[in-house]
Each structure stands twice: as structure tokens, then as C-alpha cells.
Amino acid sequence: MANLATWGNELYTGKRSYPFVGKHNLWFAIAGLLVVLSILVPIVKGGFNLGIDFRGGSEFTVSSVEHTDVAVGENAVLAIASDHHPRVTNIAANTMRIQTDKLTDDQTLQIAEALASAYGVSKADVTSTFVGPTWGQDVSKQAFIGLIVFVVLVALLMALYFRTWKMSLAAIIGLLTVVIITAGIYALSGFEVTPSAIIGFLTILSYSLYDTVVVFDKIRENTAGFVDQHKRSFSELVNLGINQTLVRSINTSVVAVLPVASILFIGSYLLGAGTLKDLSLALFVGIIVGTLATVFVQAPLYAWLRHKDADVLAHNKKIELQRQSA
């Protein structure tokens, strides 16, 4: 604590300073590269690994299984739908998951019963999910509408709160960077894209902006009336703001990521698959990327958006003169 607090003091006073704004070209280039890679990864890998909610199909989860034999499940499915290719996996201790292509709703229920008797468990231990072919489009469409509506509303909210659309624009561009990079990492991991993962993505939007608002608030405070002082230029004030909130950024993201990490761990190792795992992976990656983006993309971007403004230019000139004379 002592060291981090001292470090925090030095960041606060400006004694120690990291060039978040100064080296913005480097950060933007890295972010740009990551965005391009994130777009390329799913293309190279042949798209996302879509869950049955998007493909349509049926999924069964059999709990309390004693013999985790894959063939038992395959045979049970083939007995009812012989032309299908069931994928049977042992996702966690005593839990089997069986996925099939499109079946009818009735076939799904028949197979659920067959699986129960094949694995020697009661019908109450079998979860079956039937997803019709159009459901996935519905989910994706609504999620997309949600994304657009949220981005528009939040852009307005931020423009109103910060009284400058440039902060709002910087925040939104950074936000899109976060979403694309997180999606890229998700594609790379090969995790299934399920509605739960989509929830995770939409939550990242919220978290990432939350983080940005906190840092921007400090920047706004630092840069308010910057023309009346001649110690620091506009971009130096922005940079000071980022550095001053750095300890906070680290602490909040660690605290936010800890519970998510515990869901990810429990979801992956104890439960195998499902809502918790899909949701938490997107969040886990998103929170980390979101915090980094605030510091490396959103805040420097705001300084860059303002660097050609008349007042900033005039102020820079004054400071330059003053520094030369000193």
C-alpha cells in the first residue's frame, strides 16, 4: 500500500507522469492494429462459434450422470433421429451435454426422455432446449437495436453532462474499439456465442463508459478555464488528469474484475458451460480492455480532437513563449 500510495502521490502532483497523451500516435496505432486483428480473427477462423440459440437446434444437459460415456448419448439420439450428428461432451463432473442439429420440438422432447433412460437418470435430471430456426435472428436483431439505442442515448447524455460533444465523440469511438477488440478475443478463444455472451457484451458498453466518465470528469475539472493559467498546456492538463486518476482506474478495474473472475472460474470449472461462463468471459475481457482503452484511447483522443481548436492553439503558443523566456 505504501508504495502504491506514494506512487499515487507522485502521479497526483505530476512528479511522475506517463505520456498517455504525448505518445498518442503510438497508442492509437496499437489500438488500430488490435481492431484490425480483431476483425480478421473471426474471418480467418470462419466466423464465430455460434451457440444453438443462433444456429437453431436442440441441446440437452443431463445432470447426475454416473457413467460419462459419450456413445450412450449418441446412440440415444440416433435411435430417434437417425440422420443427425449429435455432439456429446462431458462438460463437468457428472454432467453431459448433447447438441444436435435442427430437430422438431416433439423430437426434442422424445430425445430428452430417451437420454434420461439411456443414462439411467430420472427425467427431472434432463434439461432440454429447443430453439427454432428464426429465434437467433431475433436475439441478434434485438441486441443490435439495443446497442444502437444505447450508443445514441449515451452520446447525448455525455454531450449534455460534459457540455462538449468532443468528449462524447471520443468516448463513443473508444467504446466501439473496446467492443470490437473484445469480440476479437472472444472469437480467438473459440467460446460459443450465446445470448448470455451477448448480455456480457452489452454490459461492457456500460462498464467501459462508466470508467471513461470517471476519468473524463477529472479531465473536465482540470481543463476548465485552462486559458487562465499558464503553467500547463491543454494536453498536459489532460495527461495530468489521466495520471491523477490512474490509481483509481487500477483499483476500480481490479475490484470490478474480481467478482467476474470468480464467476468465470466457477462457471468454467464447476458448471462447465452455460450462462455464467459465457457472460463472464465477455465481461472479464471487456473490463480489462475497457479500462485500458479509457487511458490509452479515449482520453488521448479527446486531447487530439481538441488540439486544433483555436483556444487550445492560442494557449499553447502563449505557454511556449513563456517557457522560452523562462
Partner 1 sequence: MSTTGPIKQARKALLWLGVIFLVSALVLIGGVIGSKTTFAPKLALDLEGGTQMILAPRVQGGSGAATQEQLDQAVEIIRQRVNGSGVSEAEITTQSGRNVVVSMPGVPDARTRQLIQASANMEFRPVIVAGAYEATPQDQLTPEADLPKPTEAPKNASDTNWITPELFKQFEAYDCPTEEGKGADTVHPADKPMISCSPGVGLKYILGPLEVPGANIADATSAMGRGQQGVVTGQWVVNLVFNPEGTKQFAEVTQRLISLPGVQNQFAIVLDGTVISAPTTNAVIADGRAEISGNFTEESSKALADQLKFGALPISFDIQSEQQISATLGADQLKGGLIAGLIGLLLVAIYSIFQYRMLGFVTILSLIASGVLTYLAIVLLGWSMNYRLSLAGVAGLIVSIGLIADSFIVYFERIRDELRDGRPLPSAVEMGWKRAKRTILAAKAVNILAAVVLYVVAVGNVRGFAFTLGLTAIVDIVVVYLFTHPILQLLSKTKFFGEGHRFSGLDPSLLGVVPLYQGAGKIRSFSTEAESARGKKNASAAKEAERRQTIAERRQAAAHSGATKHDDSAQKDSSNG
Residues from 40 through 79 that contact partner 1 (CB under 8 A): 53, 61, 63-64
The verdict on 80 binding partner 1 (CB under 8 A) reads no
Q: What is the rounded (10 degree) CA torsion for 15, 21, 22, 26?
A: 130
User: Which residues, numbered 133-192, are part of the site for partner 1 (CB under 8 A)?
Assistant: 134-135, 138-139, 142-143, 145-146, 149-150, 153-154, 157-158, 161
| Interface mask toward partner 1 for 2-41; x: CB under 8 A | x-xxx-xxx-xxxx--------------------------
The verdict on 293 binding partner 1 (CB under 8 A) reads no
Nine-digit cell string for 22: 504525448
How many H-runs (helices) and E-runs (strands) does the chain carry? 13, 4
CB of 83 to partner 1, least distance (A): 22
CB of 32 to partner 1, least distance (A): 25
Tell me the one-letter amino acid at 129.
T
Which is closer to partner 1, CB of 40 or CB of 153? 153
Contact pick of 180, 209, 295, 297 for partner 1 (by CB under 8 A) = 209
Helices marked H in 81-194 — which ranges? 105-118, 135-162, 165-189
Q: How does DSSP classify residue 308?
A: T
Which is closer to partner 1, CB of 43 or CB of 148? 148
User: Which region, judged by CB under 8 A, interacts with partner 1, from 1-9, 27-35, 70-78, 318-326?
Assistant: 1-9
The verdict on 217 binding partner 1 (CB under 8 A) reads yes
Contact pick of 39, 50, 176, 214 for partner 1 (by CB under 8 A) = 214
| Interface mask toward partner 1 for 242-281; x: CB under 8 A | --xx-xx--xx-xxxxxxxxxx-xxx--xx--xxx--xx-
User: Which residues, numbered 102-131, are part of the site for partner 1 (CB under 8 A)?
Assistant: 105, 108-109, 112, 123-131
Nearest to 110 by CA among 87, 133, 77: 77
Which is closer to partner 1, CB of 5 or CB of 313? 5
Which is closer to partner 1, CB of 47 or CB of 269? 269
d(CA 288, CA 207): 10
- Phi–psi pair at 132, nearest 5 degrees: -70, 165
CA 139 to each of CA 46, 100, 144, 192: distance values in angstroms, whole numbers, following the listed order: 21, 20, 9, 15
CB of 10 to partner 1, least distance (A): 7
Q: How far is CA 154 from the centre of its chain?
A: 17
Tell me the one-letter amino acid at 187.
A
Q: How many CA atoms lie within 13 A of 279 on its CB side?
A: 13
What spatial distance separates the first Cα and last Cα of the chain, rounded to whole Å? 38
CB of 30 to partner 1, least distance (A): 26
Contact pick of 99, 182, 196, 294 for partner 1 (by CB under 8 A) = 196
User: Which region, judged by CB under 8 A, interacts with partner 1, from 43-51, 75-83, 178-186, 220-228?
Assistant: 220-228
Nearest to 104 by CA among 124, 133, 134: 133
CB of 177 to partner 1, least distance (A): 17
95 class by beta-carbon count within 10 Å (0-12 exposed, 13-18 middle, 19+ buried)? buried
- Residue 12 near residue 155, CB atoms below 8 Å: no
- Phi–psi pair at 271, nearest 5 degrees: -105, -15
